[in-house]
Copies of this chain bind each other. A is one copy, B any other.
């Protein structure tokens, strides 16, 4: 462990991995015998910074190759709404979303990215890729 670890952060967001969030619904992919790509941009994502209690704003991008199921957009939007009043770090947002969409639709390939607005002069982008 590095000398300068911020103790006050440690373990503070472990509950995020198991937190209850709305289910993301899926629908049947009638072209599951083809390999193709779906790319979603959701420019109106907002959550709460756990340290300051102030809102964070970002653009969520989901890019995936469906297998048997596709993500249903209306339920996805409601799923994102659940973050509106949730205290959660940038890194955890991306990882939790990736885990949840993989669980819901078991894609062949997926990438999730969130680009956040500037905070204290720093712009943060977090992304994660998955390949079956």
Seen from chain A, the residues whose Cβ lies within 8 Å of a Cβ on chain B are 1-6, 9-11, 13-14, 16-17, 23-31, 34-44, 46, 54-55, 57, 66, 68-70, 72-77, 81, 84, 90-92, 94-95, 98, 103-106, 117-129
Would B46 and A46 count as touching, CB distance under 8 A? yes
A91 neighbours in B (Cβ, 8 Å): 29-31, 36, 38, 66, 70
The binding surface of chain A is classed by DSSP as mixed
A27 neighbours in B (Cβ, 8 Å): 5-6, 9-10
Would A25 and B39 count as touching, CB distance under 8 A? no
Would B120 and A121 count as touching, CB distance under 8 A? no
A59 to chain B, nearest CB (A): 10
